[in-house]
Amino acid sequence: MRLEGRKVLITGAASGIGLATAEMFVREGARVALIDRDAQRIAAAEARLKVAAACADVTDESAIGLAISRMTEALGGLDGVVNAAGVDLLRPFAQMSLAEWQRILAVNLTGPMMVCRAALEALARSGHGTIVNIASGAALRPLEHRTAYCAAKAGLVMLTKALAIDLAASGIRANAICPGIIDTPMFRASFESAPDRDAAFARILDRFIIKHPGRPDDIAYAALYLTSEESAHVTGSALAVDGGRAFH
């Protein structure tokens, strides 16, 4: 029970990494609240895990502020936040619209910022608050046809480092996780429409030392460490959980 007694809010919690993190945190004794924009899936997660949940889009400042206020009240306080909401965009730069660029930055960078800001007062009251931002290996090494995604996730890593400095006096630690390829619906969507699906998948794997996708639990374990007291002396880090791509 590595999180016994901790109260943690998780965004993007209806599927993929966010849902796996919620499931693991519940098993480890945390009181968990979930936020996601997918009303049907977040309701299913709420019922199955027997936790508090709210439907809200992280890009909507008023909606996310209200949702975080409600979830903090339901939990009786807030000790940690995991920002797992995110979207991808596979588009050559010359074909990318301004609206697409703005949407990717809104979800992947501005959204986590607004979540952290809305949760800040409660995290400061905790005295041992934690922020874990799910960034990407694309923040450390770029990918072709993902200009907006790479820029947003690199920005999220630097936002995390800046928060670690600004919030240290409030007893809040901030860290980022940079996943590689993780077997989630978002990852599968990135190559399943290719004319030769197997060849596209092989090209992706060629970038990595470990020649298979990670599991959502691989990232959840990293989030567990960074949320627990085991990482009490860790802040401002960008932990690569990426099958070796960051150095390969």
The tens digit of pLDDT for each residue in 172-224 reads 999 999 999 898 877 777 667 678 878 878 887 888 899 988 999 999 999 99
Q: Say which residue, 188 or 117, is predicted with more confidence.
A: 117
Q: Say which residue, 99 or 207, is predicted with more confidence.
A: 99
Which structural domains are found in the chain, ordered by start?
Answer: 7-247 (3.40.50.720)
The tens digit of pLDDT for each residue in 132-178 reads 999 999 999 999 999 999 999 999 999 999 999 999 999 999 999 99
Estimate to the nearest angstrom the gap between the alpha carbon of 45 and the chain centroid. 17
pLDDT computed for residue 198 by the predictor: 81
The two three-digit tokens of residue 190, written as one number: 């990135």
Choice among 25, 101, 149, 187 that is catalytic = 149
Instruction: Give the pLDDT band of residue 54 (cuts 50, 70, 90).
Output: very high
Active-site residue flag, 149: yes
Record the pTM.
Answer: 0.94
The two three-digit tokens of residue 226, written as one number: 């960074």
